[in-house]
A and B are shown apart, each in its own frame.
Chain A
């Protein structure tokens, strides 16, 4: 009936070492997730949208549907 001798000294130091490594790894993982899962993805979405964006065409489209107050849709007489 003999168990291994438990750690008697330096408990705070070992706890700090363990908690610090876990915190560092978790922090880096969280930062990586945010950067690649959210930030880079969003940048790519914006880049894809603006790569082939014709703003004149978009304006004509919106105008044709009559949402503007300063201009009116072109009447095809």
Chain B
């Protein structure tokens, strides 16, 4: 098995066909992704740089101890568009989302109110105030749910709700 894996033909085959979901695209375009730290492509191409930046790239080929901190930062920005801090920075998208959700809720509330006033049929007669009051009275008289329910909230001596 190890001999097969060492064969260069198989490794070339594996490297072209078995790629991660970002692998094929990462060969062509630069992308800032927190889970793919070093894209295959640099952010700026060497051919498009100004002269002083080209000189800086040549200097990068040498010993990095000769680079100042500012030059290192400039080289970083040539190779990468956003730093991790930039990528993870808050975007304020939550405000848009919250606004959209509130708007959708308002629209549905408006539809509901219109529906209630103009579209719905008459409610059933058992939902009248009179019927409901008589129902409450009936439930208290028959000691409905005397432990935790409605009759438990009624004081039978004083003939009134418990305070």
- Interface check A72, CB cutoff 8 A: no
Q: Is the interface of A mostly helix, strand, loop or mixed?
A: helix
Complex interface: chain A residues within 8 A of B146 (CB): 49, 58
- Interface check B138, CB cutoff 8 A: yes
- Interface check A21, CB cutoff 8 A: no
Complex interface: chain B residues within 8 A of A45 (CB): 147-148
Complex interface: chain B residues within 8 A of A46 (CB): 147
Produce 1/0 per residue, B89-115, CB < 8 A to A: 000000000000000000000000000
Chain A interface extent, by class? 10 to 19
Complex interface: chain A residues within 8 A of B85 (CB): none
Complex interface: chain A residues within 8 A of B142 (CB): 62, 65, 67
Binding site for B on A (CB under 8 A): 42, 45-46, 49, 58, 61-62, 65-67
